[in-house]
Amino acid sequence: MAVVTYRDALTQALREELQRDDRVFLMGEEVAQYNGAYKVSKGLLDEFGPMRIVDTPITELGFAGVGVGAAMVGLRPIVEFMTWNFALLAIDEVVNAAAKMLYMSGGQYKIPMVFRGPNGSALQLSAQHSQAWESWYSHIPGLKVCTPGTPADAKGLLKSAIRDDNPVVFLEGEMLYNTKGEVPDGEHIVPIGVAELKREGDHCSIITHGKMVLVAMKVADDLAKEGINIDVVDLRTVRPIDVEAIARSVQKTNRAVVLEEGWEICGMGSQVVDFIQRECFDDLDAPVLRVHQEDVPMPYAKNLERAAKPDAGKAIAAIRKVMYLD
């Protein structure tokens, strides 16, 4: 298996799917001539030409709508948002057009489309550019939402998303683009809606997704030194959620901490906790705890930003609490 960056894994997926199906095209700000704001589309203009790698004006609502129209007439668009913070301007097309078209057309128009781009906070990008949006889109029937945390999952899920006949919201991580990991050679597909147990342990479950997978793995490493073994359940897709994988883990460990990048109220963790209390009530030895961003707009100041973000220390504290160690 080759070790590649998360960014290159995404590029591989795009290239392979552009080669595989000529209905697939990529559209967004700076994706062609500039090779993408984060270089995910590097080299694709040269290979596939300006009809399939399309630069757009700074008009999120406009090009998202063009994408939906293209999907309605049989193409398979990939719309890149420079970041998901900018996609707020296009959310009407995502939620009211893409997500509902199949339903409102009585099944006549499927929307085989991917909206993708970096999600969540980076470093000191302040309140308007440091937001994790997965719970917003997961709320909407008609959408699928992928949150890969590793290069292998980024590649495998993006290929599944492009081949899916439904609109898929694909949330990458700016801080993940340079991370490296093994990616299986050849055709590599990760099915949508299937979680992966990234680490096995008996003492406590961490249920997480996206960028926080790396935090969870660090937590598992740190706690292993103390003899505490953690099950790390990477949801990979947050809509649909792999409830069975969550239940399997919690039924084994009897305690869980849900770790996510976004805010507490109505966050992904709220939904995971709800599944746990329904599926695992008699298996719980402690209330499920959540670790998330503090309930504030992201501060700009470095120290405050650090304090506001979820991190390994907060996750370890939560685990020790559900294990009644403190």
Partner 1 sequence: MATKVVMEALSPTMEEGRLVKWNKNEGDAVKNGDVLAEVETDKAIMELVARGDGVLRKRLANEGDSSPVGTLLAVIATADENIDSIVGSAAPAAAAPAAASGASAPPPVPQSPPQSQGESSAPPQQRVAGTQGGAPPSAPQRPAPARPAGPPPAPRGNGASRTGAPSAPGGRQRSSPLARRIASERGVQLGGIQGSGPGGRIVKRDIENAKATGGAGRSAAADRLAAEGDFKDVPLTQIRKTIARRLAESNGPVPTFFLTAEFDATRAAEMRAQLTEMGDQYKVSFNDIVIKGVALALAEHPEVNAHWLNDKIRHFNRIHLAMAVAVEDGLITPVLFDADRLSLWEISEKARDLAKRARERKLMPEEYTGATFTVSNLGMFGIDQFTAIINPPEAGILAIGGVEEKPVVIDGALEVRQRMRVTMSCDHRAVDGATGAKFLQTVRRYIENPLSLVI
Give me the residues that bind partner 1 (CB under 8 A), please. 226-228, 254, 264-265, 281-287, 289, 294-297, 299, 304, 307-308, 314, 317, 321, 324-326
For residue 101, give Cα distances in angstroms to 92, 109, 181.
Answer: 12, 6, 37
Q: Does the CA dihedral 293-294-298-299 come out positive or negative?
A: negative
Q: Output the smallest distance, CB 215 to partner 1, in A.
A: 16
User: What HEC string does 111-153 produce?
Assistant: CCCEEEEEEECCCCCCHHHCECCHHHHHCCCCCEEECCCCHHH
What is the per-residue DSSP string for 10-68? HHHHHHHHHHH-TTEEEEETTSSTT--TTSTTTTHHHHH-TTTEEE--S-HHHHHHHHH
With a CB cutoff of 8 Å and minimum separation 6, the contacts of 166 are: 102, 110, 111, 112, 142, 143, 144
Q: Which residue among 129, 264, 279, 294 is the active-site one?
A: 129
**Which residues are 259's β-sheet partners?**
291
The span from the CA of 84 to the CA of 130, in Å, is 10
Nearer of residues 82 and 312 to partner 1, judged by Cβ: 312
**Which residues are 289's β-sheet partners?**
257
Catalytic, 203? Answer no
Nearer of residues 179 and 270 to partner 1, judged by Cβ: 270
Helix, strand, coil content of the chain in percent (nearest 5):
40, 20, 40
Nearer of residues 96 and 251 to partner 1, judged by Cβ: 251
Nearer of residues 59 and 277 to partner 1, judged by Cβ: 277
Phi and psi at residue 288, to the nearest 5°: -75, 135
Catalytic, 129? Answer yes
Q: Output the smallest distance, CB 216 to partner 1, in A.
A: 18
Tokens at 208, concatenated: 């997480």
Nearer of residues 122 and 286 to partner 1, judged by Cβ: 286
Tokens at 300, concatenated: 């700009």
Phi and psi at residue 147, to the nearest 5°: -135, 70
Q: Which residue among 60, 134, 172, 260 is the active-site one?
A: 60
Nearer of residues 106 and 227 to partner 1, judged by Cβ: 227
Q: Write out the catalytic residue numbers.
A: 60, 129
